[in-house]
Chain A
Amino acid sequence: MKISFSPEDEQFREEIAIWLKENLTGEFEQLRHRGGPGDEHMFPEERKVWEQHMAKAGWTCPGWPEEYGGRGLSINQQVIFHEEYARVGGPGHMGHIGEGLAGPTIIAFGTEEQKKRFLPGIVDGTEYWCQGYSEPSAGSDLANVKTKAVLDESSGQWVINGQKVWTSLAHESDWCFVIARTEPGSQGHKGLSFLLVPMDQPNIEVRPIEQLTGTSEFNEVFFDEAVTDAANIVGKPGDGWKIAMALLGFERGVSTLGQQMHFQNELDEVIKEAQKSGAAEDPAIRQRIADAWMGLRIMRYNSLRMLSGPQDGSLQKEAMIYKLYWATWHSDLGKLAMDVRGADSEVLPEGPYELDRLQSMYLFTRSDTIYGGTNEIQRNIIAERALGMPKEPKGR
C-alpha cells in the first residue's frame, strides 16, 4: 500500500497538463468550470464540440481498452487524468452517460456487432446517451417497470410503448438505453430487457420538466409505437435486470474520481467565499469547512480502495457505501456554501430567476440523495447485502 506516484506516472501528468493548457483555449475558454452537475444545461453544443476536440487527440474514454477506442490507461493514470482535467476547470463531459454507463455495459455484455456499432460514436463524441430506467410507477422500485416492448417478426423491430420519467439529457441524446418488459404478463425482475433505442424518431416525444432550480436537465419521455432494430438488445430477452444492476456498478467506477475533482473545485470556491465574507473566522464554520475537506479526502481513498478491487461491476463492501457517502457529503457542502455567505446567499440578480454557480450547486445537491438510488435505498442495500440483515418485506 502506497500513495505516491511513480516518475512515469508524473511524466504522464505533465503530458496531459500540457495538452490541456494548449487546447482548452480560444473558443473553449468560456467552457472552463461549466457544465458540471447542476450546470448540465449550459453550453451543450459547445461542449459537444469540445468533446470531439478531445476525441481527436484520444482523450475521451481514456480508461477504456485500446481495442474499443480507449487509451487503456492504468488506474493511476486515470486518477492523474481526472486530477489534471479538474485542475484547469475542464468542462463537464456531455458524454458521461455514454462513457461511464452505456459504453461499459456494451463492452461487458454486448455483441461484437453492437461494440462496432455503438462504441465509436461514444469515443468520437458524436453520439450521446441517456438512461431510460425510471417511470412514474417505477422509481425506487425499479422492477415495477411497465414500459412494454414487443418484437415484430415481420419488420424485425422491437415496438415500444410506455413512459419514462426524470430522463436526464434526453433532449440532447441520440440514444437511450431503455429497460422494458418484453415478456407479457411478467412481474418484478423477470421478463425485463435492456434495449438500445434511437431517440430521433417521430414516435418518441421528449418533454422537459422544470426543476426546482428553474432549469431543465431532465425530461419525460413518451414511447408511442417507438421502434428499434431487433439486434439492439443487450443480452438476451429477460436479462434486463441483471444488466441494469451491473450498470449501476459501473456508476461507481473511475468516473467517481472525475466527480471528486469537480467537488474539490467547489470546495475551493466555498473556501474563497468564506474568506471573502469573513465566515472563515467563525469557529463553527471553520469546523464545517475542515469537515468538508476531510470528507473529500476520505472519499478519494474510499474510491481508490474500491478501484483496487474487481472491476467487473460487482459490488464489494467499499463500493456499497460509496453513493450514500458522496451524496450526503455533497448535500452538506451545498448547505455550507450558502452558510458561508450568510444573508447574501439569498440575493439574485434582477430579471429572470437565475442562480449563480454556488446557489445552483446548493439547490442541485438536493437531488444527489435521490437519483441513482436514494439514500434510503442505499441504506437498505448496505444493511441487506453488506451486513446480511433481513430483506424488506414486499407489498406484492
Chain B
Amino acid sequence: MEFAFTDEQEMIRDSAESFLQDVSTSEAVRSAMVTEAGYDSELWQRICSQMYWQALTIPEEYGGLGLGYVELTILLEEMGRRLLCSPFFSTVGLGVNALLVAGNETQKQQWLPQIAEGSLTATLAYTSRNRWDANSVDVIARAEGDGYVLSGTYKYVPDGHTADLLVIAARSPDSQGQEGISLFALPAQADGVSRKWTPTMDQTRKQAEISLDNVFISADSLLGKSGEAWADLEKVLQLAAIAVSAEQCGGARQALDLTVDYTQERVQFGRTIASFQAIKHRAADMMVQVECSRSAIYYAACVAQEALFDGAVGDELPVASALAKAYCSDAFFHCAAESIQLHGGVGFTWEYDPHLYFKRAKSTETFLGNGAYHREKIAQAIL
C-alpha cells in the first residue's frame, strides 16, 4: 500500500494544471458554453494531439497510453477545477470505460484506436426515465434476423448530440429490472437515430435526447451477452460515478480558492472580510470538505484501477463509487453555495464565476444519482 502519488502522477497533475489554466479560462468556458456543441473543437483537437488525454486509459495494444484510473482521476480533478468544456468526460469516463468493461477483442480493436487517435468521440445512453437504476432502461431491443431492432428514447445523454459513437443499453421486450438488458455500440449516424440537444441550466455540461426509431443493429455490435449486460452496465456506471466525483472535487477546490481570494480583497468595516471569524470558519469548513473529497476520490480511483484489472480490492467498487459520488456531490454543492454567499451581491451576478460552479455542482450532483441515492446503496451493502 502506498497512498501517495508517484513522481509521474505529480507530473501529470502539474502539466494538466498549467495547460488548463491557460486554455480553460473563465472567458474560454463562457464562450464554449453558449454554443450548442458546448466545446471548442480546436481546443479538443489540441488536447488530443498535444496532451493525449483521450488515450490515457486506453491500453497500449489499442494505441493508448495504458495509464490507470488514478491518473485519470488526477486529470478529471483538474478539468473540474477549470470547468473544462470538452467531450472528455463522455468519451473517456463513459465511452472508453464501457468498451473496456463490456467490449470483446474485435470491438475494442474497432473503436479504441480511433478514440486514442482523437478522431472519434463517444458517450453512453441508457436511461429513459428520471432515474438512474436498472429500471430506467426502457428502450426495447427486439431480436430480428442476425441482429436487433431498437426503439425508444434516451434522456440526459452527456454530449449525446455530438458524440460519434453511442454505447447504448436496451432491454428485451417484456423484461424488467436487471433482467434482459443488453449493451450495443452504435455509430451515431446510423439510420433511424435522431438526436436533439437539451438546453440545461448548467451550460458547461451538454445533454441530449436520443430517439431510436426501428434502428437495426447487427449482432456483432452487441457488447457482452445478450440480455445479461446489467452487471457490466452497473460497473460502467460505478466507474463513471468516480469520474464525475473527481470533477466535482476539483470544482469544490476552485470554489474555495475563488472565495478565499475574493474575501482577502474585499474590504468592509475597514478590514478585509477574510478577517471576520464567521467567514474564516466557513472557509475552513469548506476546506475540510475539499480535502475529504480528495481522499474519497483517490481511494475510489485505487479501487477502480483494481476493479478494471482484477486486483484484490476491486470488489469494493460498488461502495467506493457510491462513497465518492455521495460525498463529492454534497461537498461540491456546499462549497459552491458558500462561494456565492461569501461573495455577497457580486456572487449573484452573471459576471462573476461562482454561479458557473454552483450550476455545475447541481448538474453533476443529479447525474447518476445524488448523495441520498448513493448513501442508500451503501446502506444496502452494510445493513
Contact = CB atoms under 8 A, between A and B. Distances in A.
* A interacts with B: yes
Contacts of A317: 287, 291
Interface string A224-258: 00000000000000000000000000000000000
Interface in B359-382: 372, 375-379, 382
A298 B274 contact: no
B284 A1 contact: no
Q: Say what secondary structure dominates the interface of chain B.
A: helix
B191 interface: no
B292 interface: yes
Contacts of A390: 271-272, 274-275, 280
Interface in A339-396: 376, 378-380, 382-384, 386-390, 392
Q: Say what secondary structure dominates the interface of chain A.
A: helix
B283 interface: yes
Contact of B4 (A1, A297, A302): A1
B292 A298 contact: yes
A287 B383 contact: no
A206 interface: no
A9 B275 CA distance: 48
B280 A3 contact: no
Residue in A291, A376, A389 whose Cβ sees the most chain B Cβ within 10 Å: A389
Chain A interface: which size bin? 35 or more
A293 interface: yes
Interface string B285-314: 101100110111011011101100001110
A390 B270 CA distance: 14
B379 A389 contact: no
Nearest to A291: B375
Interface in A284-340: 286-287, 289-291, 293-294, 297-298, 301-302, 304-305, 307-309, 317-318, 321, 324-325
B272 A301 contact: no
A387 B260 contact: yes
Interface string A1-19: 1111110010000000000
A324 B288 contact: yes
B302 A389 contact: no
B277 A301 contact: no
B4 A305 contact: yes
Contacts of B284: 324, 378-380, 382-383, 386-387
Q: Which are the 5 A-B pairs with shortest beta-carbon distances? A: A383-B280, A308-B4, A301-B295, A290-B375, A382-B284
Given A386-B287, A389-B283, 17 more contacts: A1-B4, A2-B3, A3-B313, A9-B1, A274-B383, A283-B376, A290-B382, A291-B375, A297-B299, A302-B292, A305-B298, A308-B4, A378-B284, A380-B281, A382-B283, A382-B284, A387-B287
